[in-house]
Amino acid sequence: MKIITKQIGTGVHIVEAVVVLCGKDINICCGGGDTFHIGASALAVPRPSLADATKNSASASVLCVTSHKEDEIAREAALRFATIFKTRVNITCGLHIDNATADDINLLHKNYLQILDEIQLELAGVLHGN
């Protein structure tokens, strides 16, 4: 197995990720804010697009802890990576800031999206031998 770690941001706006390559499958654990936890988990499986079988797509199943809101961001990331890398992808995500303002939430989400971009770039190099 290969392990990749990433970190973006500081203080309560930090987002950290651990990526584990399990054979050709990808497992990503993302935590951020002031309380790292498991809020949701999404497992995506690649498949041909239903609209155009020559294009890649994916299907996902999501588990979300009651009262948590990470289900959509976990699902979007799992679908993204499964489609791009044509492999099974599991992502677990937990982002939380106590008494967060709208600006706190926006910055934490921005950092989450940035860390996904960095993970994608590194995986492209690792999986495609660059």
At residue 19 the predicted structure's pLDDT band, cuts being 50, 70 and 90, is very high
Q: Is the pLDDT of residue 127 over 90?
A: no
* Cα 70 from Cα 64, distance rounded (Å): 7
Tens-digit pLDDT profile for residues 26-40: 999 999 999 999 999
Residue that wins the pLDDT comparison between 125 and 91: 91
Contacts of 127 (CB under 8 A, 6+ apart): 21, 24, 85
* Cα 97 from Cα 10, distance rounded (Å): 13
**Structure token digits, residue 97:** 């800031």
pLDDT score of 128: 74
At residue 129 the predicted structure's pLDDT band, cuts being 50, 70 and 90, is low
Do strands 40-48 and 56-64 pair parallel, antiparallel, or not at all (unpaired)?
antiparallel
Q: Please compute the mean of the pLDDT values over residues 94-120 and round it to a whole number.
A: 97
